[in-house]
Amino acid sequence: MKTATIAAVVSVVLVSAPSVGWSQQPDKGHAELAKALNDAKISLQRGLTASAKEGKPISAKYEMEEGKFQLSVYTMKGDQFSEVIVDHKTGKVSKTQPITQGDDLTHAKAQSEAMAKAKRSLDAATVEALKENKGYRAVSVMPALKDGHPVAEVELVKGADWKTVSEKLD
């Protein structure tokens, strides 16, 4: 019995090790994104608020898309999904495009399923994560279902330190 327990613990540690190392040692993409964040004048939360005109926000992230820095928010209105690009300097919506296929649609459907069970907004979850992690900036907030309960995975950065925290949405 002891051997089985030790084997299980070792397996968990080995499976977890790459993700722990990744979060502590940012890759080139993280370094590029962290540098670009210096130009962002608005918070992720403000992007969520701005995008609400286009539908209910179901996820948000700062990202590098084809070499260009942007704040992308997925929204849902009825059973339609959109990607809303919010200008990271002014906080105004600069572009909205429907999400109709591919991985983006798959992700949007999963995110909307999690948000359908949520009692708290992504904005509230992000604010709570920042309150618990002084000095950090929110880079993304993604809802998911864990054991049937909605949670928000909030990615944070402070200097070269990246981490993801989980906030309950129910």
Structural domain spans, the chain = 27-168
Q: What is the pLDDT of residues 125-143, one digit of tens each?
A: 999 999 999 999 999 999 9
d(CA 138, CA 134) in angstroms, rounded, equals 11
Catalogue the E-assigned strands of the chain: 56-65, 68-77, 80-86, 93-99, 137-146, 149-158, 161-168
Q: What is the DSSP letter of 160?
A: T
Q: What is the pLDDT of residues 59-85, one digit of tens each?
A: 999 999 988 999 999 999 999 999 999
Q: What is the pLDDT of residues 12-46, one digit of tens each?
A: 333 333 333 333 344 677 888 988 898 899 999 99
Predicted local confidence at residue 104, as pLDDT: 96
Predicted local confidence at residue 124, as pLDDT: 97
At 56 the three-state DSSP class reads strand
Predicted local confidence at residue 153, as pLDDT: 98
pTM of the model: 0.82
